[in-house]
Amino acid sequence: MTQAAVAKYGSAAIPEAEHRIEPTSQSRLDEALAILQDHKKEWAALDVDERIDLLEELRDGVMQVAERWVDASVEAKGLTAGSAQEADEWLGGVSLVVRNLSLLIDSLRDVAKHGAPQLPKPAFKRPDGQVVAPVFPTDMWDALLFQGFTAEVWMDPEVELDDLPNQQAEFYRAPSHTGRVALVLGAGNVSSIGAMDVLYKMFVEGEVVILKMNPVNEYLGPILDEAFAPLRERGYFRVVYGGAAEGGVSLSAPSRRGDSYHRLRQDPRRDRIRGRRGRRAPKGEPRAPQHQAHHERARQRHPNHHRPRPLVQG
């Protein structure tokens, strides 16, 4: 890759990877966004029971593609099949997504029955009065597999103990919108992250999703598309391919931009989505959607993804 190409689509430290799947054309990007725009209100209005049914279908779908998912990851990363490296791909990829789906199912069942997800242990107050919500381990299996590990969410100081349920499952309790389209920038070489960020945006924040696979992990695109077919078939989810050009100019132009975007980490290429590089975008230049999230903030939150707000948000 030439230095000019590095400057345009990445950095000297993190150049854009070589494409193995042809980037999605502009017409197909427009088509995908149009379908999602047409179905975003329907998705936002979908009741909890239907969402649970979809999550169960998604879990079955992930299980059906699990072996191909791992095989593709092993091949793409040049790992040794049958080794501890392959085991890492099972644990860090398919297993996490299946676990995420199971926890979301449990959380939505709690929402349907109690109005909010139930904490594994009662919340309590610190000596200074700050409310603390225990969130991990969530069950016996977590306790056995992660012995010695616990996690808590320290709430904002103004949150009272008896008000804690009102801080959970906000979209299901008091929706802040009637439909949004989210662009998830699926980069990174941990194969579970893109899928789980899609689940977060859809089942926590109530947004339909266009997932743009980065050249570094685009081999997973067809597999995720198959596993998440129940969402795709109903017009709630689309997978597209490409680098910074497709993620930035193609999807942030005013005529075709989504309502929010979700990135995996801080990176210079992010600025192509936001329409600026450390400066305010000039008048008329594409700007980022107002509703933004990123991987680091999402991972501060409750493991079952329907949880109280953390004390600090990124």
| 119 C-beta neighbours (distance < 10 Å), count | 20
Question: Residue 286: its pLDDT value, please?
Answer: 46
What is the three-class DSSP state of 128? coil
Tell me the one-letter amino acid at 37: Q
Instruction: Name the burial class of residue 122, with classes exposed (0-12), middle (13-18) and buried (19+) by CB atoms within 10 angstroms of its CB.
Output: exposed
Rounded CA-CA distance 88/302 in Å is 23
**Residues 185-239 pLDDT 10s:** 887 889 999 999 999 999 999 999 999 998 889 999 999 999 999 999 999 999 9
Closest by Cα among 294, 302, 48 to 167:
302
| 202 C-beta neighbours (distance < 10 Å), count | 24
Q: Torsions phi, psi of 143, nearest 5?
A: -65, -35
Q: Which two tokens stand for residue 309?
A: 């707000």
Contact 221, 10 (CB under 8 A): no
Question: Residue 263: its pLDDT value, please?
Answer: 54
Question: Residue 48: its pLDDT value, please?
Answer: 97
Contact 241, 26 (CB under 8 A): no
Rounded CA-CA distance 179/175 in Å is 10
What is the three-class DSSP state of 3? helix
Rounded CA-CA distance 199/238 in Å is 13
Contact 142, 117 (CB under 8 A): no
Contact 302, 308 (CB under 8 A): yes
Rounded CA-CA distance 231/235 in Å is 6
Sheet containing 181-186: order of strands: 237-241, 208-213, 181-186, 260-263, 291-294
This prediction has a pTM of 0.79
Question: Residue 187: its pLDDT value, please?
Answer: 78
Question: Residue 311: its pLDDT value, please?
Answer: 31
Closest by Cα among 307, 314, 313, 312 to 123:
307
Rounded CA-CA distance 101/99 in Å is 5
Ranges in the chain, pLDDT < 50: 1-13, 249-250, 254-255, 265-282, 285-290, 292, 294-314
Q: Torsions phi, psi of 100, nearest 5?
A: -60, -45
Map out the domains of the chain as residue ranges: 21-115+170-275+283-298, 124-167
- Fold designation for 21-115+170-275+283-298: Aldehyde Dehydrogenase; Chain A, domain 1 (3.40.605)
CA angle (174 as vertex; 172, 175 as ends), nearest 5: 75
What is the three-class DSSP state of 238? strand
DSSP string, 167-192: GSSHHHHS-S-S--EEEEEE-SS-TT
Question: Residue 261: its pLDDT value, please?
Answer: 55
How far is the first Cα of the chain from the last one, in angstroms, to the nearest whole number?
33
